Amino acid sequence: MDMTAGGAVDPAIENHQQVSELRAAMKHLRSEPRGWLFSLKFSLCVLLTTIGVLVALQPVWWCRVAGVVLIGCMFAHAAELQHEALHNLAYRSRRANAVSGIALGLPMLISFAAYKAAHMRHHRDLGTPMNREFFDYGDQYGREERSKLGAFVDWSVRFTMVHHYALFVANLGRSLLGRDFSGESARVSRRIRRDHRLVLGALLALSALSWSLDSMVIVWVWLLPLFLVAGPVHAAIELPEHFGCETLNRDPFANTRTIRSNRILTWFTNGNNFHVEHHLMPNLPLERLPDLHNEVQDRIRYFNRGYLDYFGKLLRR
C-alpha cells in the first residue's frame, strides 16, 4: 500500500478506495436502460417543441414570444436528454443512442460525437488539472477573482454561450474541409464531421423553406429560441454542477453539487440536479439517481434544496 512520508496512507488513495467500495455496495441499484421510458421523454420533447412552433408562427406578438420561450426551453431540455444518450443509458442499442443523441443535439448546434468524447474525458479527469468540459464558459468554476467589470464580462460570456457558437463555426469549417480534430481519433473525427454537416443541412433546409414561404420561419422557430432562450437556460442548468466546488479534489462528494428539486425541474433537467450521484455512478440509469441520493445524501458536501435556494445564495455571495 502506498504511504506518505510519515507512513500514513495517502488521502487521495484512501478516498479512491472508499468511493470504489461505495460503488460496489450500491451495485444493487444498477439496471438495464429502459428504452420505452426514454422514447416517452423524447416524444414529449418533440410534442412540446411542435406546440411551441405552432404558437410562435401565429401573427400575434405575445403568441410569438410564448412560442419562442417554449421552443428554447425544449432545445435546452433536448440537450439534457442527449446527455443520457451519450452515456448509452437511453437505449440498450449503441446505434439507437447515437441516432437519438444526434437528433437531440442538433437544435443547439451540439455535435453528439464531440460532446461524447469530451464528456467521457471530463468524467475521467474531474478533480485534476487535466479536466476540461465540452461547453467552454471561460472561468468555468468561479476560481478567479474578478473586478466588477470582469465579472460582468464573465457572466455575459457564460449566459450567451458565445464560445460554443464560435467553436461550432470553427468546427463546421474543419468539417467542410474534411480535416481531423486535434486530440480525437480518425473515427471520432469522422463522426464529428458528420454531425456538423447534418446541422448545416438542417440550417440550409429551414432557410430554403423560409425563402420559399417569404417568411421568417427560421428566425422564429430556431434562431431566436436558440440564442435568446436555449443558450441562457442551458448555461443556468450546467452552472451549479461544479461551480464553486473543490474541482481539484478527486472525491465526487467534494467536486460536484446536488440540488434536491421538485419533480418538474427534475424532469426538465433530466435528473441533472442529482449530479453528485451521476459522477459517483456514471453508468447508473438516470431514473435511479434519486434512489442513490437517498443512500448517500449525508456525505454530500455541496447541496441545495432547490434551484431558487442555489441561485439565491449565489446572488448574495
| Chain mean pLDDT for the chain | 93
Among 7-21, 25-39, 236-250, the minimum mean pLDDT is found in 7-21
User: Does residue 198 fall inside a structural domain?
Assistant: yes
User: Does residue 10 fall inside a structural domain?
Assistant: no
User: Does residue 24 fall inside a structural domain?
Assistant: no
Note the pLDDT of residue 1: 44
User: Does residue 61 fall inside a structural domain?
Assistant: yes
Over range 131-156, report the average pLDDT. Answer: 86
User: Does residue 68 fall inside a structural domain?
Assistant: yes
User: Does residue 7 fall inside a structural domain?
Assistant: no
Give 210 or 317, the one with higher predicted confidence: 210
Domain count across the chain: 1
Note the pLDDT of residue 7: 58
User: Does residue 201 fall inside a structural domain?
Assistant: yes
Model pTM score: 0.93
Over range 47-59, report the average pLDDT. Answer: 97
Note the pLDDT of residue 4: 52
Note the pLDDT of residue 68: 98
Over range 172-190, report the average pLDDT. Answer: 97
User: Does residue 298 fall inside a structural domain?
Assistant: yes
Note the pLDDT of residue 165: 97
How far apart are the C-alpha atoms of 137 and 158, rounded to whole Å? Answer: 5
Over range 185-209, report the average pLDDT. Answer: 97
Over range 91-104, report the average pLDDT. Answer: 98
